[in-house]
Structure formats: structure tokens, C-alpha cells
């Protein structure tokens, strides 16, 4: 299978490594707007060659869009315009706008809207690794909009990555992900900013940061280029999630303000119960 | 050295394991209000025996208060009243009220205010493990208030736990910890509550929770009995930290609302920079 990967960051680089080692890919060609990503992948033999977008897409069997989600909205219709015999699949973290755009395209049935739920706080091809996707969940949105063959090819691709497939409606996907992924990133970014506000250069309080802070602040290392268009494409759900979150946080604040021990206990014990349920799924 | 541990939870249990294996403790006696914690520690030989508070304290060389911080405020003066030849050291996560109380006691110089910065989201002696403290930071507050010998004994105790010692003023400690530990816990508790608010029992969205959510929600498993008195004893700093945090979160919300791409980028890039600095310390 000849694979063309557009966007050679953490996801694109890890796809190249994993699809090659699994034997799914016979040839991997890549493209990235950033010259350093492209040359890293060529020098480290993650890809067999480089090509411009249209040229690479025409020569490939499967075209993978592994760019930030604003790039997917831009590239997907341009590619579908030019391609007839190829599958285009995206790896984006938002799905509603992307599925809507594909629905309007006459060749939209050849575009599979996917979201491999795998990522770390580090970005770029140097952070990529072969096992990034192993045993993680891959979501395919609105498979009923696809022709049978493109869908089957993408299913086999995720199987080669050792991922568990789930099917969802794009709108539902974006709502759930607002709470289960996008919100967590904003919380971490905000925690880093807040800790910075109180940092005293003389004392360097970061030296005191323990394991609890470390895990909560981890996502603050995430790429702005990736997350900016996610937050904006998922605007309505993000605003709803942030409002709900701020109201929960304000309950804590109110109970602390009033020294309401019982109220605090109830909030924390409810949270403990939820954590136990969540933890069984994690 | 004969050690008496009051409070046999995660910290007390881990202290017992570590002080025994390091050879620092010749005998370890324990007390816990919860009968199941006491019997667990006896059955699993974490402690050599059990004793009531006063009886155990009188027979020991070092008394360790490893209870929630409200218990420390209650027990410390009662113990100092009765003891002359022993060191009392606490393991509490807040220090200002505790140091103030000890300062007022005529034998306060025999009480060392300490905070080993080690913990996990699980609680109770069954979650304890020998390496919990290894290579972590232990803070001693206001050592100038101590007599030389009690301070030296506690230094040796932390050395036996393989911890790095730091000295701080109690007020400074509570302020820094509000931002670097206590706030993270409230953020995680609130995230669990928020995810629960949107959970649909039919769909069970928790199955979608990925690694980013998992690390951010981890502390929501933390013990309410431990954290309640920490939040209340550190009330003023917590309220300040929460206000600052909510204002940072609101900046994200405002930029998303206004679809202000540039504003979002600036916030995230600043957060990335801070994360890199923090990450060097972690």
C-alpha cells in the first residue's frame, strides 16, 4: 500500500513508523510545510521520499491528513477535487465541521473522518514513536456517509496500528471530546499561567512542584498550532464545558470561603465516586 | 530508634515500611482511629505493635503525626503537654497554623514542622509503599524555632527516607503550596464533577477518556478527609489562587467566544514557555 502523509508532526511521524513496521505500508511519501519536519523525516528514514501535495496524493493509495484541523478543512476539498481512485482520511481532533464539509463534496464518500485518540504533550516528528497508537481507541465518524471500499481500507489501516475502532456521530464526538480532552488542555494551560503569576524569580518556587502538580500541568506543553483551531472549531461545546467547569470550581471556592466543611466533603466524595468509575474505563 | 506513628494511612504506612527497611527504626508502634487501618498494619507487620496515643508517645523516641492536618492541631499540644524527652514531628501539607500553635507552647521547640512532598491519589495503608519518599523533597518550616537536638533527629529521619531537605517559612510554604499542590487537587476534583455532569448513562462516554484526561483527573481520587482541612487551613491562599486561576480560565473562554486566534495563540505560547521552565524542575 502506498501511503502519502500530509503533516509530519507527532502523529504523522508516528504513523510513518507504525505503518512501516506493521508491514501495512509498502512506500511512505510525506509532505510538511515546515522544511525542518520534512528533512527530519527524510534523514531519519521515516519516509521514503517527499512530494508536493497534489503530486504525492495522485501517486498514493491512501492519503492521510495529519495536519492541525484548520489545515484539514483547507486540504480535504482541494484533494477530493483532484482524486478519484484514492481514499483520504484525516486524523483531526474535531469532526463536525470536517464531516459537514465532506458531505457537501460530490466525492465526499471517499473521505473518512477519523480521530485516533492518541497524543502526548510533545510535538514534532522528533517526538514520534511507533507504539503511540497501540491499544488506543480510534473513532470513525459517520461511516454511513462513506462508500464501502474507502471505509474498509481505513479500517484495515487502524487494525494495522493495533487500535480499537469506535463509530460515532460527528456532533456527538465533538461534544464528548470537549469534556474528555479539549477541556483538560485548557485547564493545564491555565494552571501553568497561574503558577507563573505567583512565581518569584528569587525563590524559584517551581522547585517545590510535586507529582500532583506535574500530572495536572503536563498538557500545558501541548502545541498551540494544533489546539488553537480545535478550540475554535469546537467553540460552542468548549464554552458550555468551560461554564460548567467554572461553576463547579466556584462551588469549591464558595465552600472554602464559607468554611463549609460538610459541603466540601460532599463535593470531594462525589468526585471520588466519579473518579472510581472513570478509572475503571481508563 | 523507637518510632510511634499516629495515623496509619498512605503516609504513615509508607513511613513504617521505609524507616524499617532503612534500619532507622528499631521498633515501630502505631495508632489509628480507624480499626481497619490498625489491624491491616498489624497483620501485614508494618508495625510491631499498637498503643493508645499517650502511652505510645511516652514509650517512643520520635512521635510522627501522619494524620490529616486538623488532627495535627488537636494532637500536637496534647502530646507536648505530656512529653519532655521526645521529638514530635508532623507530616502535614499546611504549616502556618501548625507552626503558630507550636510557637505558643512552652515545649514547642521539641516539635518539628515538616512536609514530605510525596503522595499519590490512593489512600490508606494498603496503598503504602517503601519508595514513596525516595528522592522527593521534604520541607522543614521555621527550624529556628527548634532546639538543636530535635531538629537533628528529624534531619536524620528524612535522610533515612532518602529525601532532599529544604527549609522555609511556614507562611511562604502555605502560599507556594496553594499554587503548586492544593490548587491542582481542586482542578481535578472539579474536572471529575464536570465530566460526570455531561455523562450519558446510555452512552458511557468515559470509554472515550484518553491519556490527557486521565492525567488531569488523577488527583480526583484523593482523600476528602485529608484535603478538607488543608483547604480550610489554607483558606486565604486558596481563595487567591482560585481567583487567579478562574481569571486565566476566563481569558481562554473570552478568546474562544470572540474567536480571537491571536489571543489564544499568545496564551498557549506563554503557557508552553512556562511549562518548559517548570518541566526542567520536575
Write the pLDDT tens digit of every residue in A193-216. Answer: 999 888 776 677 777 888 899 999
Report the chain A residue with the minimal C-alpha distance to residue B263: A228
DSSP A84-96: SS-EEEE--S--H
ipTM: 0.93
pLDDT score for B204: 72
Quick check: B97 and B231 in contact, CB under 8 A?
Answer: no
User: How much is the mean pLDDT over chain B?
Assistant: 95
Are B235 and B124 within one domain? no
The whole domain housing B128 covers: 2-169
Q: Do B193 and A246 touch (CB under 8 A)?
A: no
Residue A192 with chain B: CB contacts under 8 Å? 271, 274-275, 278
pLDDT score for A202: 65
Domain end position, chosen among A112, A135, A169: A169
CA of A95, closest CA in chain B: separation in Å? 15
pLDDT score for B202: 64
Q: Do B214 and A166 touch (CB under 8 A)?
A: no
| CA distance linking residue B98 with residue A253, whole number of Å | 23
Q: Do A259 and B232 touch (CB under 8 A)?
A: yes
Residue A254 with chain B: CB contacts under 8 Å? none
Are A113 and A231 within one domain? no
pLDDT score for B201: 66
pLDDT score for A277: 87
| CA distance linking residue B193 with residue B217, whole number of Å | 10
CA of A123, closest CA in chain B: separation in Å? 11
**Domain of B88: which CATH number?**
3.40.50.720
Are B199 and B118 within one domain? no
Q: What is the mean pLDDT of residues A85-96?
A: 97
Domain end position, chosen among A152, A169, A186: A169
In tens, the pLDDT along A109-135 reads 999 999 999 999 999 999 999 999 999
pLDDT score for A39: 98
Domain tally, chain A: 2
Is pLDDT above 70 for A234?
A: yes
Are B275 and B141 within one domain? no
Please report which confidence band the pLDDT of residue B20 belongs to, taking 50, 70 and 90 as the band edges: very high
Out of A228, A250, A281, closest to residue B207 by CB? A281
| CA distance linking residue A44 with residue A127, whole number of Å | 13
Quick check: B256 and A239 in contact, CB under 8 A?
Answer: yes
DSSP B203: T
Is pLDDT above 70 for B59?
A: yes
**Domain of A258: which CATH number?**
1.10.3660.10
Judged by average pLDDT, the poorest of A52-66, A68-82, A230-244, B193-207 is B193-207
**A135-174 in b/e burial notation, b at 16+ Cβ within 10 A?**
ebbbbbbbbebbeeebbebbbebbebbebeeeebebeebb
Judged by average pLDDT, the poorest of A250-254, B196-200, B214-218 is B196-200
| CA distance linking residue A56 with residue A3, whole number of Å | 9
Are A152 and A31 within one domain? yes
Q: Do B248 and A193 touch (CB under 8 A)?
A: yes
Are A140 and A179 within one domain? no
In tens, the pLDDT along A15-54 reads 999 999 999 999 999 999 999 999 999 999 999 999 999 9
What percent of chain B shows pLDDT beyond 70? 99
Is pLDDT above 90 for A189?
A: yes
Are A96 and A54 within one domain? yes
In tens, the pLDDT along B78-123 reads 999 999 999 999 999 999 999 999 999 999 999 999 999 999 999 9
Are A54 and A101 within one domain? yes
In tens, the pLDDT along A154-184 reads 999 999 999 999 999 999 999 999 999 999 9
Residue A211 with chain B: CB contacts under 8 Å? 118-120
| CA distance linking residue B118 with residue B161, whole number of Å | 11
Judged by average pLDDT, the poorest of A95-104, B85-94, B189-198, B204-213 is B204-213
User: How much is the mean pLDDT over chain A?
Assistant: 95
Are B12 and B123 within one domain? yes
Are B102 and B225 within one domain? no
Beta strands in chain B (DSSP E): 2-6, 27-31, 49-50, 62-65, 87-90, 111-116, 137-141, 164-168
Q: What is the mean pLDDT of residues B15-20?
A: 98
Are A85 and A225 within one domain? no
Residue A239 with chain B: CB contacts under 8 Å? 253, 256-257
Q: What is the mean pLDDT of residues A129-144?
A: 97
| CA distance linking residue A142 with residue B127, whole number of Å | 44
pLDDT score for A201: 67
Are B193 and B122 within one domain? no
Report the chain B residue with the minimal C-alpha distance to residue A201: B277
| CA distance linking residue A58 with residue A41, whole number of Å | 21
Q: Do A193 and B282 touch (CB under 8 A)?
A: no
Quick check: B156 and A185 in contact, CB under 8 A?
Answer: no
Q: Residue B251's closest CA among A40, A118, A280, A197?
A: A197
Domain end position, chosen among A169, A192, A226: A169
Report the chain B residue with the minimal C-alpha distance to residue A277: B206
Amino acid at each position: 500500500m502506498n501511503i502519502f502523509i500530509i503533516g509530519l508532526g507527532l502523529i504523522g511521524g508516528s504513523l510513518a513508523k507504525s505503518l512501516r513496521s506493521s508491514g501495512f505500508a509498502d512506500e511512505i511519501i510525506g509532505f510538511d510545510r515546515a522544511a525542518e519536519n520534512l528533512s527530519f523525516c527524510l534523514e531519519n528514514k521515516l519516509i521514503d521520499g517527499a512530494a508536493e501535495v497534489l503530486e504525492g496524493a495522485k501517486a498514493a493509495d491512501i492519503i492521510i491528513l495529519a495536519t492541525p484541523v484548520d489545515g484539514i478543512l483547507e486540504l480535504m476539498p482541494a484533494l477530493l477535487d483532484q482524486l478519484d481512485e484514492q481514499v483520504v482520511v484525516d486524523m483531526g481532533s474535531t469532526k463536525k465541521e470536517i464531516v459537514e464539509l465532506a458531505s457537501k463534496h460530490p466525492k465526499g464518500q471517499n473521505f473518512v473522518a477519523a480521530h485516533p485518540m492518541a497524543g502526548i504533550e510533545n510535538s514534532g516528528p522528533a517526538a514520534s514513536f511507533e507504539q503511540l497508537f497501540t491499544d488506543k481507541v480510534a473513532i470513525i465518524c459517520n461511516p454511513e456517509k462513506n462508500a464501502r471500499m474507502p471505509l474498509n481500507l481505513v479500517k484495515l489501516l487502524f487494525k494495522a496500528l493495533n487500535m480499537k475502532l469506535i463509530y460515532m456521530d460527528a456532533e456527538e464526538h465533538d461534544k464528548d471530546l470537549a469534556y474528555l480532552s479539549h477541556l483538560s488542555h485548557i485547564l493545564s494551560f491555565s494552571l501553568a499561567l497561574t503558577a507563573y503569576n505567583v512565581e518569584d524569580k528569587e525563590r524559584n518556587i517551581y522547585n517545590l512542584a510535586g507529582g500532583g502538580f506535574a500530572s495536572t500541568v503536563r498538557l500545558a506543553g501541548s502545541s498551540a498550532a494544533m489546539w488553537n483551531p480545535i478550540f475554535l472549531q469546537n467553540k460552542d461545546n468548549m464554552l458550555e464545558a468551560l461554564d460548567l467547569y467554572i461553576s463547579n470550581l466556584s462551588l469549591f471556592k464558595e465552600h472554602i470561603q464559607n468554611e463549609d466543611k460538610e459541603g466540601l466533603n460532599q463535593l470531594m466524595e462525589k468526585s471520588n465516586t466519579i473518579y472510581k468509575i472513570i478509572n475503571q474505563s481508563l
